[in-house]
Structure 1
Amino acid sequence: MSAGGSISEFNEEDNVYLQLCPDPIRFEPVSKVTNVFYDEANQQVYTVRSGGASGVVVKGRKESLNCTFRMEDKGPVLSIKFSPDQKILAVQRSSHSVEFMNFFSGTENLQEYSQTCKSKNATILGFIWISGNEILFVTKVGIELFQVYPEKRCLKYLKGVSVYIDWFLHSVENNILVVSSPGGIIQPFQLKPGNIYKFQKLDIDQTTATPQRERLNERDMSIVSLYNQTAVLVLRHRPKSSTCSGAEIDVYPLNREKATSKSHVLKLDTSGCFAINVIDNLIIVHHQASKASMLFDVHLSGAYDGYATYHTAVVVPMPIKQFKLKLPTASTSVSEASEVPCELYSVNWVVFPPNVIIDAKLGCLWFLQLKLAPIQNLMPDKIRLVEFLLQRSNGKRQLLQLLQNTILSPTFPELDLVGGVLDKLNENYQSFLDVEMQNQMSLPVSGKTDVLVPKGSILVDQQDLYTNIFSNFPNCETVTDRYIVQKAFYQLHQFLQNYVVNDSKHLACLLLSLEGEYPAAYQLALDMLKRLSNANDLIVEVLINKQKIIPALRFVQSCERTDTISARKFLDAAMRHSDKSVFTRFINFLKKGI
């Protein structure tokens, strides 16, 4: 399964960021008489005993859709799937036809009807439900779309595409079909009710500088959805050596308008057997030999060679959290003996997109889960961690917690770190505003403009910052003192201009003492004193000490407090002033005002 970087042993439970869901879907394990099938579209497991004669049990996430029925044993079942509305069952027992059974009138006396390929002697590789009454046959010579008429118990051919097919993959999330043709040609299709749309062909071999064509295997490719973009992942097996870092995964975003080329490369830095899941736009690569998993985020920055961006794992590879399976007991009480540890990264594991892991021999289906809290401990670069959390759909709580730990830390962080974190939040906030602005604009139907998307998946706005951060400052003066100690005068200036701290005479006097190192602090102090209603006398003192006698007189006059003026204080200051005209103007003020 997956790995990357140098993989080592980890026993720290707190750093494990992947876990299996606590309540797996349990089903009868595979055996000589029982076959197990999984339907990705409905996320259902089918256990078929003796070809269906001894019973078929269907289980999934929705317990209301679970059912049990019997069907006639007409040979080994190759594939079995319900339609999306659960009203029609399709069963493939041969390479030339598919049988159907209606379930909307109950499960008793199920009568089958079948459909062969439109192309004579074609071999059916599989089938895909497009909608409740449309089904697609994938054959070795093309794809065929049929309309199902359950009441008439028949199907009608709608359309098809002729193409030689070795194998195929289907993405349920975006209804994308990818077929592999002889010569390593990959042809994607968009499937919609009543229609089949072609994408540009993807010739994987032409995008790599290999002397021989590399054979592409179905198990080495995946169709995933990353940041609202469908992409094909291609696993490149390369033995690790002194000249090769090991296997890589190439990411090819699909585009109907132009040829697809790889945009990202995930460096696994090891070799072996891998499997891929996707959770919340994160590519999770499991490595079987090391029993560890890696996380990749194509949204984060990486090394760019002019053609593609190269990514390493976001954090160090870690194993999935140990899972103990509860066994049924005769006693009503659950003891330790009723739980057995499961073998993780078992050879019996089969991984399905986006986050399904099945152990057919154990009889369990799990949904893989991601925990964000441990990742904070594994990413020392906090600005990169902020970028990472902004992309997670449930990352807001963790992000606010990170901001609290960073900004409200008793030891107080480096100001460059705080500034970098807030810059990322501002960029993300601005992107949301740009999107909202574009949505409100009235554009012509024919007008061509790039559709903006937010930088992140979550929004941290001003109210969030105030409620969770700034309103919780234990002592804002401690923050300003820290700015002064670090001589971060520009940050201090912004801090004060945005009124993060309350005005006070103490803080104003502190600013006055900084004038020698930061001249703008003098004006900041005067402005703060002016906003205080009880600091007029202090303003006059400051101005007189700066020998600004006339501005001090004007200030007193503007406050309409000339009757309280200390004539002796102004007279002494005017007499000491180097400009003799100041004394004359002061005398005139006493006589009639300036």
Structure 2
Amino acid sequence: SSGGSRVVVKGPDDKSSVAFRMDDKGEVKCIKFSLGNKILAVQRTTKSVDFTNFIPDYPHLEFSHECKTKNASILGFCWTNWNEIVFVTDQGIEFYQVLPDKRTLKLLKSQSINVNWYMYCPETAVLLLSTTVQGNVLQPFAFKTATMSKMSKFEIELPAVSHTLSLDCSYDQLYVMYLKHHSRTTNSPGAEVVLYHLPREGTCRKTHVLKLNTTGKFALNVVDNLVVVHHQSSQSSLIYDIKLRELDGALNVHQPVLPAQSINPYKIHLTGPAAAPSQAPVPCELYSSSWSVFQPDIIISASEGYLWYLQVKLQPTLNLLQDKGKLMDFLLRRRDCKMVILSVCSQMLTEGDKGNLSVVATVFDKLNQVYKEYLDAEQAYTVAMESGPSRSSTSYKRPVRTQAVIDQSDMYTHVLSDFTEKKHKVIIAVLMEYIRSLNQFQIPVQHYLYELVIKTLVQHNLFYMLHQFLQYHVLSDSKPLACLLLSLESTYPPAHQLSLDMLKRLSTANDEIVEVLLSKQQVLGALRFIRSVGAHDNVSARKFLDAARQTDDTMLFYTIFRFFEQRNMRLRGNPGFNQGEHCEEHVAYFKQVFGENALMKQAMA
């Protein structure tokens, strides 16, 4: 209308929407905003590109730039930064800096090369050009602020056409993914996707082959480092993880990780004047021929006017992948994996794998390997930071704790403490298996895991096993563990001595051991301990009398009071307490409860 067009730019959410009017100057071949929607570039001819500033406080005026190579045709362009752009022509590439204030472009670098077609990966800022007459030689270029570098060129198999290739990242590595259709001349049972690894430096090599085991129309996405291959006729998608490998010579040949799955159905709520208020949502047509797939994880339905992000739901994999070791390898590499991994562990311990401790051991080892790697990285970072600024410490980044790090508190809270299996032998076997795995990776075992073992043993009266575990140091010494053993004395009398032995082995200061015992109201135990180490002549009487009073056990108080009277008599020949010992209130209490006559009398000379 009125010689112009209204353009609406929509992103995944309404916040990134932009709307503007554009003069009608001919058919638009290509239209793209630079990063941050700062500058708009529009290609209408094969000779030039038009630019408009969208930067606040800059004049909203259009300016144009022609490609510098004579007789060249512009195939398209790619923004590599908010103000840097590369023109791709049939005769090479031209890398420019856009100067919005001067409304002009400055040539940074150019390269003459025969170009059939191109593709660009925004994640890595790598441009891939198809060259030579046959089109099977690919020349990549890498872009970084104001610089363009030529990478090693490489050959791929024929026919090399743009719709059979995509440029994607998986596990932070860039790959050219080539869809190789079924060939009648070979015995191959179906199409395959060949992955060429494209390093920043060095040569590009064919590294992975994904076996599709079928023929037809395919499209590729990469989601959460997984290569997802959509198959139109079967309306299903195949999922591949290139880190799960089956070596076939120098190549890694991959089968799908899971059975073929269909994308989750989606219903569209009709809007507009034609839609009745009560009209039910309409199912979206999946795997439609009008779908356009963009890297890494975008699907656009042109007929329905929808843009989707593809996501992987991890929970259903629990029942799709029976091999628990393989399932764990798969889940540990996913972004939002923690709760799914913990539910796998819970399911494994409460359902079918009860009798198979080797499966449990495998899973624990896989989890603890990742846990240990994180702990080591965290420690190395701490050491580097403590050593002060140096050339080496500046290269250290604080390790990111991913969801794959399942620590002991996660395992205790979500799996082991909820593990209410009737057969105590299984509980103990699983707990000991987890402790074995932690020890194998030299991860210090938290005391609450040992406490869980002890409580389970006591609950089922397995005192002989508890004694053996402690005797052979299966349960490592710790102060909290010693305290727990002390509290078991009434149930299992030898626990008292086991606890004291443990405290002595820990070389804990005697007064600290006494404090621990008194805090647990083990007043007689504390007194026995102090006598066993020959320190009973020097301890504070008041500390013990305070603790005895707090128990509300008058006979216990009587015993403790009488002990210190006897000590006073032995040391000073007088049962009374010195003024400096501050025991007056306890003497008064003793008289109140037991009467003055109960006090010891001083021995007559």
CA contact (8 A) 1:252 1:262 kept: yes
CA contact (8 A) 2:87 2:94 kept: yes
1:72 paired residue number: 23
Instruction: List aligned pairs for 1:352-501, cutoff 5 A.
Output: 352-409=294-351, 412-440=354-382, 442=384, 445=391, 458-474=404-420, 478-480=423-425, 491=433, 494=436, 498-501=450-453
- Separation in 2, partners of 1:385, 1:506: 34
2:288 paired residue number: 346
With normalisation by structure 2, the TM-score equals 0.69
1:170 paired residue number: 120
Instruction: List aligned pairs for 1:60-139, cutoff 5 A.
Output: 60-104=11-55, 111-139=61-89
Displacement of 1:333: 7.4
Displacement of 1:239: 4.2
Displacement of 1:458: 2.3
Cα deviations by residue, 1:453-481 (Å, 9 ceiling, x for unpaired):
99976211111111112222326x73325
Say yes or no: does 1:283 pair with 2:227: yes
SS of equivalent residue, structure 1 residue 401: helix
CA contact (8 A) 2:49 2:66 kept: yes
1:307 paired residue number: 250
- Separation in 1, partners of 2:174, 2:317: 26
1:188 paired residue number: 140
CA contact (8 A) 1:240 1:247 kept: no
SS of equivalent residue, structure 1 residue 262: strand
| AA partner of residue 378 (structure 1) | L
| AA partner of residue 18 (structure 2) | C
SS of equivalent residue, structure 2 residue 364: helix
SS of equivalent residue, structure 2 residue 206: coil
2:164 paired residue number: 220
| AA partner of residue 51 (structure 2) | F
Percent of matched pairs sharing the same residue: 37
2:110 paired residue number: 160
Displacement of 1:266: 0.8
CA contact (8 A) 2:381 2:399 kept: no
Say yes or no: does 1:267 pair with 2:218: no
Displacement of 1:293: 0.5
The structure whose Rg is larger is 2
User: Which of 125-134 and 411-420 deviates more?
Assistant: 411-420
Unaligned runs of 5+ in 2: 438-446, 498-527, 533-605
- Separation in 2, partners of 1:62, 1:124: 32
Q: 1:203 to 1:522 in 2, by over 3 A?
A: same
- Separation in 2, partners of 1:492, 1:341: 47
CA contact (8 A) 1:198 1:256 kept: no
- Separation in 1, partners of 2:7, 2:459: 81
Task: Say which of 154, 162, 173 aligns to 1:229.
Answer: 173
With normalisation by structure 1, the TM-score equals 0.71
Instruction: List aligned pairs for 1:329-344, cutoff 5 A.
Output: 330=273, 334-335=277-278, 337-344=279-286
Unaligned runs of 5+ in 1: 1-48, 206-213, 541-556, 562-594
Cα deviations by residue, 1:26-74 (Å, 9 ceiling, x for unpaired):
xxxxxxxxxxxxxxxxxxxxxxx99x82322222224234233332222
Answer 1 or 2: which has greater helix percent.
2
| AA partner of residue 122 (structure 2) | V
Task: Say which of 182, 197, 202 aligns to 1:253.
Answer: 197
SS of equivalent residue, structure 1 residue 394: coil
- Separation in 2, partners of 1:250, 1:216: 12
- Separation in 2, partners of 1:288, 1:144: 38
| AA partner of residue 459 (structure 1) | V
SS of equivalent residue, structure 2 residue 36: coil
Q: 1:241 to 1:409 in 2, by over 3 A?
A: farther
CA contact (8 A) 1:125 1:140 kept: yes
- Report how many aligned residue pairs link the two structures: 476
1:327 paired residue number: 270
Q: 1:413 to 1:390 in 2, by over 3 A?
A: farther
CA contact (8 A) 1:128 1:135 kept: yes
2:541 paired residue number: none
Q: 1:331 to 1:479 in 2, by over 3 A?
A: farther
- Separation in 2, partners of 1:432, 1:439: 11
Q: 1:201 to 1:341 in 2, by over 3 A?
A: same
Displacement of 1:334: 3.9
- Separation in 1, partners of 2:155, 2:271: 52
- Separation in 1, partners of 2:470, 2:138: 66
Displacement of 1:340: 2.3
- Separation in 2, partners of 1:492, 1:438: 25
- Separation in 2, partners of 1:505, 1:369: 46
